[in-house]
């Protein structure tokens, strides 16, 4: 329960810090840290408008998408505190419950009958598929190293004590940061501020969403960022007492948000044809983690 509360609390300011970082880097004051949350609350107060072209799938997809993110958060631990749900192989459940929500968001875009939204949905499906091996190889490597298959057991059994292990932690942090940027359709894969349909990915998928449904989708993005930030934080706080783990958790979330803002400020968006190449490169980094684990275990030949 503690992890759920802390991730929800971090989600309240995460996107605001990202936007504020981008504003400061560009020499502007920018909106307040809680402005994205205020925008979501404003949308929650509005009713949704549905096209006559759409079916019930379009109406239920935002709720399923949001629920899938919340369910994924339930298995994420914080330090020595387990997630609300914890079992062997829960990182597989984590990946595929997110995939379920992504599936409904994709077929929801297709349900509108818009060629533009269908184009964005096909790109979203491709990029998510290419990012999946990097996540599984990374978490599977640490499962092999620790002998456990649940998030909580993996992180509590993980100890850094050599140059190779620190390198593995650094690579895993990089891979998870980039997966978070891909899953949330941020730079350098996608630009959340673009208004050109031909280059939009996630934003073009939600063009027909409005009111409460749009608020759910936007807040789910905040939660996903905080969720991946919590996974990254567990590399540093898994064996610390609660009094140190809690402030360090929020410190990692803050630095993750700043890094995301800096990436979006200085990284140019890739050409669409290069996105797949970049995402699949993450699998190469995850393979380096796998080989490093074999080296630590003395099984590297």
Mean pLDDT of 137-148: 90
- The whole-model pTM stands at 0.90
Predicted confidence band of residue 33 (pLDDT cuts 50, 70, 90): confident
**In the predicted structure, residue 64 carries a pLDDT above the cut 90:** yes
Mean pLDDT of 247-272: 86
Query: If you ran DSSP here, which 8-state letter would residue 78 be given?
Result: B
Q: Tell me if 232 sits within 8 A of 177, measured CB to CB.
A: yes
Between residues 298 and 47, the one the model is more confident about: 47
Average pLDDT, the chain: 86
CA 17 to CA 12: how far, in whole Å?
10
Q: What is the pLDDT of residues 194-214, one digit of tens each?
A: 776 667 777 778 888 888 999
**In the predicted structure, residue 49 carries a pLDDT above the cut 70:** yes
Mean pLDDT of 42-58: 87
**Dmax of the chain from CA atoms?**
62
The DSSP secondary structure of 81-114, one letter per residue, reads BPPSS--TTHHHHHHHHHHHHHHHHHHHHHHTT-
pLDDT for res 101:
92
CA 192 to CA 182: how far, in whole Å?
12
Q: Tell me if 234 sits within 8 A of 155, measured CB to CB.
A: yes
**In the predicted structure, residue 301 carries a pLDDT above the cut 70:** no
CA 255 to CA 244: how far, in whole Å?
17
Instruction: Determine what percent of the chain is predicted with pLDDT higher than 70.
Output: 97
Mean pLDDT of 9-18: 90
24: which 2 tokens? 């400061």
For residues 193-208, one letter each, b for 16 or more C-beta atoms within 10 angstroms of the residue's C-beta and e for the rest, the string is eeeeeebbbbbbbbbb
User: What is the signed CA dihedral for 160, 165, 295, 91, rounded to 10 degrees?
Assistant: 80
Between residues 10 and 191, the one the model is more confident about: 10
pLDDT for res 216:
92
pLDDT for res 42:
93
CA 26 to CA 42: how far, in whole Å?
27
Q: What is the pLDDT of residues 154-192, one digit of tens each?
A: 888 887 777 777 888 889 999 999 898 888 877 777 777
Q: Tell me if 137 sits within 8 A of 176, measured CB to CB.
A: no
C-alpha Rg value of the chain to the nearest Å: 19
* H or E element that contains 227: helix 211-237
CA 65 to CA 168: how far, in whole Å?
32
**In the predicted structure, residue 143 carries a pLDDT above the cut 80:** yes
SS3 53: coil
Mean pLDDT of 100-106: 92
Predicted confidence band of residue 28 (pLDDT cuts 50, 70, 90): confident
Residue 17, φ and ψ in degrees, nearest 5:
-65, -40
Predicted confidence band of residue 300 (pLDDT cuts 50, 70, 90): low
Q: How many CA atoms lie within 13 Å of 154's alpha carbon, on the beta-carbon side?
A: 26
pLDDT for res 61:
92
**In the predicted structure, residue 68 carries a pLDDT above the cut 90:** yes
């Amino acid at each position: 329960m503690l992890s759920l509360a802390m991730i929800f609390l971090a989600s309240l300011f995460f996107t605001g810090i990202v936007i504020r970082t981008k504003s400061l880097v560009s020499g502007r004051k920018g909106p307040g840290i809680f402005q994205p949350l205020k925008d979501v609350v404003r949308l929650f107060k509005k009713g949704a408008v549905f096209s006559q072209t759409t079916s019930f799938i379009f109406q239920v997809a935002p709720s399923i998408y949001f629920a899938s993110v919340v369910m994924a958060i339930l298995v994420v631990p914080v330090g020595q505190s387990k997630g609300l749900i914890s079992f062997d192989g829960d990182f597989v459940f984590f990946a595929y419950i997110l995939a379920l929500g992504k599936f409904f968001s994709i077929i929801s875009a297709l349900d509108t009958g818009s060629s533009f939204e269908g184009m964005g949905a096909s790109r979203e499906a491709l990029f998510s598929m290419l990012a999946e091996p990097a996540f599984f190889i990374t978490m599977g490597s640490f499962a092999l190293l620790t002998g456990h298959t649940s998030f909580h057991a993996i992180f509590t059994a993980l100890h850094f004590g050599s140059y190779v292990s620190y390198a593995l932690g650094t690579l895993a942090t990089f891979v998870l940061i980039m997966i978070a940027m891909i899953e949330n359709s941020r730079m350098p894969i996608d630009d959340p501020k673009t208004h050109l349909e031909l280059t939009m990915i996630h934003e073009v998928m939600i063009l027909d969403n409005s009111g409460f449904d749009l608020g759910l989708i936007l807040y789910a993005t905040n939660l996903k960022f905080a969720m991946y930030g919590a996974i990254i934080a567990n590399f540093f706080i898994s064996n610390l007492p609660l009094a140190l783990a809690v402030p360090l958790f929020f410190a990692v979330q803050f630095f993750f948000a700043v890094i995301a803002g800096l990436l979006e400020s200085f990284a140019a968006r890739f050409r669409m044809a290069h996105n797949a190449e970049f995402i699949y490169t993450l699998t190469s980094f995850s393979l380096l983690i796998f080989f490093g684990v074999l080296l630590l275990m003395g099984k590297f030949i």
